[in-house]
Amino acid sequence: MLQNMSDPSSIGPAMAVALLTTFYGAVLANIIFLPIAGKLKTRSKTELLQKTIIVEGMGSILSGENPRVMEQKLHAFIAPKLRESVFNK
């Protein structure tokens, strides 16, 4: 765009293209990519929690811990609202 400064009639179309691509970028970011990022963040947290529980459970099994004590320890990882729905299936 700066190369065409000598020709004022070409500045308008170049500015229009620049503004249009900026608008498209903002729309794509807010409508498509931010929701995808939110879902990925949620799934990542869930996966990390699951793997942490698995590692703790395996460690408890290897150390020969009482199953009731192990159950209480693993319950601590899950939010109180979700404990009933997870373990009463």
Whether residue 15 has pLDDT greater than 90: no
Q: How many whole angstroms separate alpha carbon 50 and alpha carbon 87?
A: 14
The predicted-structure confidence for 46-79, as pLDDT tens digits, reads as follows 999 999 999 999 999 999 999 999 989 999 998 8
Separation of alpha carbons 27 and 1, rounded Å: 24
Q: Please, which contacts does 28-36 make with residues 24 or more away whose CB atoms are closer than 8 Å? A: none
Q: What is the pTM of this model?
A: 0.66
Whether 61 contacts 70, CB under 8 Å: yes
pLDDT at 6 over 80: no
% of the chain with per-residue pLDDT over 90: 66
Counted residue by residue, the chain has a size of 89
CA distances from 81 to 3, 35, 52, 85 (A): 63, 26, 19, 8
Q: Which has more pLDDT, 58 or 14?
A: 58
